[in-house]
Structure 1
Amino acid sequence: MSDPGAAGHAATAYDLLALVGGERNVTSAANCISRLRIGVADRALVRDQEIRDHPKVLGVVEDETFQIVLGPGAVSTVAEEFSRAVEAERAGGRAAGAAPAADAPDGDAEALAAEGEAIRAANTRRNATPFKLLLRRIADIFVPLIPALIACGILAGVTGVLTNLGWLGPVLPALDAIAKGFMSLIMVFVGMNAAKEFGGTPVLGGAVAAIIPFAGVADVQAFGVDLEPGQGGVLGALGAAVLCACVERRTRRWVPENLDILVTPTVAVLVSGLVTVYGLMPVAGEVSAAIGVAANWLLGYAGAPAGFLLGGTFLPLVMLGLHQALIPIHTTLIGVDGFTVLLPVLAMAGAGQVGAAFALYLRLKNNAGIRATIRSALPAGLLGVGEPLIYGVTLPLGRPFVTACAGGAVAGGFLGLANQLGVSAGSTAIGPSGWTLFPLVQGSQGIGAAVAVYGLGLVVGYIAGFALTYFFGLSRQAATELNTAGTIAPDAAPEQDPPGESPAPSRPSGDPAQTRTSGGG
């Protein structure tokens, strides 16, 4: 699908809708920064390989939802068109009086549905551990806030530069208000999303969370200690909203229906509000301060080893979805210090992978499929979106994924060492990585020094990832086979691929869900 613009995205959406089994098989559709997340009723109806072979698809991730990697920018438009296509087909089906679908005989249809339900149940059981469910909820609370965090972070950086240059003086207060307005009330948005995620009424979660930034809390003493507006930050807001949702659900059980609208919201806000003021704000304030101290100590005193460890382990965290657990920590650090020193260090993992991709491109000069995939995935990798390279190139090949992680570790160690020497590089917002992080970079020695350190870190990551992958990423036998076969080596390919079949030239074949465990090298 080469059509540019909205028409091309609409065509992609309709293609994907057909490949996931049509509108009757879609139970939900949402998107994050780079993935279209689709809930499916019958997993057996999803045509996995055809989705992976679609020219606009960068990869597929198996989780509780079926996740299609489309890349930033495209994913939001495709998701909107996808939802529109689902509604249009459902409306058409209702108008035509269509019956529930199946071209196969009843027995075959029932067997297919049972098979799909078994697959979905197995995936749900595999991904429904308490830890993974907690991470998923954290992601659902914070991911919708990322666009605003990015926008306000960039505007804050621009305002800081203009202030230092002395330009546009009369406009600077307005820019400062635009940049900081959202951050001053981010607790309210966290509270609304958290209440919704934990089964409460969003506006009640926002109402309780709004206590934290309210200026009037400065007049409150909690056990002899004066409170400060904003004390506890997003952690306090998160706890307040979750508590409010719990109180609301329990109160509704015993309140008569005709009194519910009066009693339940009042009790929920009052109880959780008092606990927030006299408990959560002081405790969460101490926890937030401790997180800031711990992060600064970690990179200030154990800089190089800490950076090495963080940079080297971040790609596996992304692959497993565990990086979502860091979002509240980043947000807390931004609230405490004005920037998070962890994000640039973690971004070095992407630099190591970009370097690894360049090395593979040079070593596999006769493999048109992998080289085409690298060409299509590298722009996203340079801009900080790692899934296309992870699932399309390095992870299926096995050893290059390890050398990419090692390259990220070297670059992370460099940034950690710089921080240890007193030149920190932090980010004023979460979400971007790679080159897109430059407008958000800030540090203890000012923007210029922070940008220089971060830029040098990327260069170190590119070089380290390239060198380690070029010399150690492929065995001689694997390099020979890959250059001869023109596809992924047989020992690294998923078991279900029939012998002799090669993938579409746009990407290497392979099921990301399987290559997580079967990649060798």
Structure 2
Amino acid sequence: MARDYEALARTIVELVGGEDNVKSVTHCITRLRFTLNDEKKAQTEKLNQTEGVISVLVAAGQYQIVIGNHVTDVYDALPKVSNIQLGGEVEDEAGGSIVNRAIQLISGIFMPMLPAMSAAGLLKAFVIMANSFGWLAAESTTYQLLYAIGDGVFYFMPVFLARTAAKKFKCNDWTAMAIAVALCYPTLSTLFSAGDPVDLFGIPVTLISYTSSVIPIIFAVYAQSWIEKGLNKVVPDILKGLIVPVVTLVVATALTLYIIGPVTDFIGGLIANGLVSLLEVAPLPAGFLIGLLWPCLIIFGMHWAFIPIIQMNIGMLGYDVILPITVGTNFAMGFAVLAIFLKTKNTELKELAGAAAISALLAGITEPAIYGAVLKYKRPFVIAIVSCGICGAIAATFGLHQPALMTTSLITIPAIIGSVGMEDVIALAVASVLTFVGTLTFGFNDDMILENN
């Protein structure tokens, strides 16, 4: 199998314009994400026809090649067939769109820790479910230890984000993590809980809770990057190893305590409470719109822009209101390709649709379904996103909350029931049935294969 992946990697390198045309390459769960010197040199049509490539799209300033579940194998094969260095970061293009650059920044910060967040979120949801069903008492040490394992990633979220943000802002990641650890130090939490006046160097400090927070540490590391650059220009080389880290640590942390933390906490509170208020005032249209647009955002990678908001909601409110609304996406796409699998007589499409259905419904990975069949034949996609909108409207009407990030799939339905509620399962079931029946009856036929080839 390794030889096959190397052959595919070699073909991809050739068709993106050769290794000299590649600035950097990273990957997510299903996509190779290239930053190219000249996107015009890439042979997109040939790549789309290449066996092993599901689809190609240009989004968020990246040339993205959708591979599917074997993306890691192809990614690891790239340096074996070329001189391309994996995981390299490049400077943002000065002329790039602000939206694209923001999405690249957010995805670059959050994507590396997505596996840990998903695993921890799923464990946390299962522990909450076990307690809700009476299987595990909250007073038991087993519950407390398992909850700590699941919640630890989220509690110390600033530490993880500090490292990934430092890589994006090109500053010392250990200093960034030191800032994050200082902000999460128990003494700060104790002072925050006490509510007594606090000052640093005689200047009053408005303390907030930094554990589980998202936005403050990102801005803190951004400030750190500028402080480091400034100090490196003026501090003699012989003293840099001592002076730069300590001054950066003190100044960046103090700046966060004085300004960055309180300001971002205030803005975050407005966003979190604004979303909750919107869904309370107009749950039906707001839920429908969010549910409808979520699959469209996934296509262009723009859903990453909502990850900080979701995690911020969880950190500030103890729950998120977006996740329950978007719960139908994976199921709608999975049941759309399942319907195509059952209806088509085309052997190649049947094989692709079957694998994509398993990936979406059991693993919660929808890209093979979206790019391999659902989006390609258009009508199934329209049916799926409308069904997702209806799912979102139902979930929003019930006023559902989700306590942690987790993958949604058939396997995690018990966790959804225990941590969110049976109402969310009803919402995703509606999306699944509507998509499956709609695609099976009028959303797809084999004539579409010829029309789209």
- Partners of 1:42 and 1:241 in 2: how far apart? 31
Aligned partner (choices 310, 332, 351) of residue 290 of structure 2? 310
Give the match's secondary structure for 1:57.
coil
Distance in 2 of aligned mates of 1:404 and 1:249? 49
| Cα offset, 1:29, TM superposition | 3.4
In 1, the alpha carbon distance for the partners of 2:185 and 2:153 equals 14
- Paired with 1:251 and 1:283, the residues of 2 have a C-alpha distance of 25
**For the Cα contact (< 8 Å) 1:141–1:190, is it kept in 2?**
yes
What is the deviation of 1:336? 2.4
- Distance, in Å, in 1 between the alignment partners of 2:385 and 2:36 is 33
In structure 2, do the counterparts of structure 1 residues 84 and 178 end up closer, same or farther at CA, with 3 Å as the change threshold? farther
Q: 1:503: which partner in 2?
A: none
1:464 aligned onto 2:443: no
Say whether 1:62 aligns with 2:61.
no
1:328 Cα deviation from its structure 2 partner: 0.3
Q: TM (normalized to structure 1)?
A: 0.73
Q: Match for residue 429 of structure 1?
A: 405
What residue identity is the alignment partner of 1:15? L
Q: Please, what TM-score do these two structures have when normalized by structure 2?
A: 0.82
Partner of 1:295: 275
User: Is the 1:14–1:82 contact (alpha carbons within 8 Å) kept by the matching residues of 2?
Assistant: no
Cα contact 1:214–1:229 (8 A) shared by 2 = no
Structure 2 equivalent of residue 406 of structure 1: 386
Aligned match for 1:263, one of 237, 243, 247: 243
Higher-Rg member (1/2): 1
1:128 aligns with 2:128: no
Structure 2 residue corresponding to 1:17, chosen from 10, 13, 37 = 10
Structure 1 position 80, deviation (Å): 2.9
Partner SS state of residue 65, structure 2: strand
Q: 2:135 aligns with which of 165, 177, 187?
A: 165
**Counterpart in 1 of 2:89?**
none
SS of 1:272's partner is: helix
CA contact (8 A) 2:337 2:357 kept: yes
Deviation at 1:337, TM superposition (A): 3.4
- Which position in structure 2 is the counterpart of 1:281? 261
Q: CA deviation at 1:44?
A: 7.2
Residues 357 and 395 of structure 1, relative CA distance in 2, 3 Å threshold: same
Aligned CA distance change for structure 1 residues 276 and 19 (closer, same or farther; 3 Å): closer
Contact 1:425 1:453 in 2 (8 A): no
How far is 1:327 from its partner? 0.9
Which deviations, in whole Å up to 9, do the C-alpha atoms of 1:155-182 show, x marking residues without a partner?
2233334444237944333323322322
Paired residues of 1:353 and 1:408 also in contact (CA < 8 A) = no
- For the residues of structure 2 that align with 1:381 and 1:317, how far apart are their CA atoms? 17
Secondary structure (helix, strand or coil) at the match of 1:230 reads: coil
Q: How big is each residue's C-alpha offset from its partner over 1:327-365, in whole Å with a ceiling of 9 and x where there is no partner?
A: 101111221233322123123233333444455556x64
Equivalence for 1:441: 416
Question: Does residue 36 of structure 1 match 2:27?
Answer: no
- Pairs within 5 Å for 1:120-519: 128-163=96-131, 164-166=134-136, 169-217=140-188, 218-219=190-191, 221=198, 227-230=207-210, 233-360=213-340, 365-382=344-361, 383-419=363-399, 424-426=400-402, 428-430=404-406, 432-435=407-410, 437-438=412-413, 441=416, 447=419, 450-469=420-439, 473=443, 482-483=446-447, 487-489=449-451, 493=452, 509=453
What count of residue pairs does the alignment treat as equivalent? 430
- Give deviations 1:95-144, integer Å, cap 9, x for gaps: xxxxxxxxxxxxxxxxxxxxxxxxxxxxx989921210111011000111
Kindly state the Cα deviation for residue 190 of structure 1 after the two structures are TM-superposed. Answer: 0.7
Cα distance, 1:288 vs. partner? 3.1
Checking the alignment, whether the CA contact within 8 Å between 1:141 and 1:194 is kept in structure 2 is yes
Amino acid at match of 2:67: L
Following the alignment from structure 2 to structure 1, what is the Cα–Cα distance between the partners of residues 277 and 322? Answer: 12
Structure 1: gaps spanning 5 or more residues: 1-7, 91-123, 494-508, 510-521
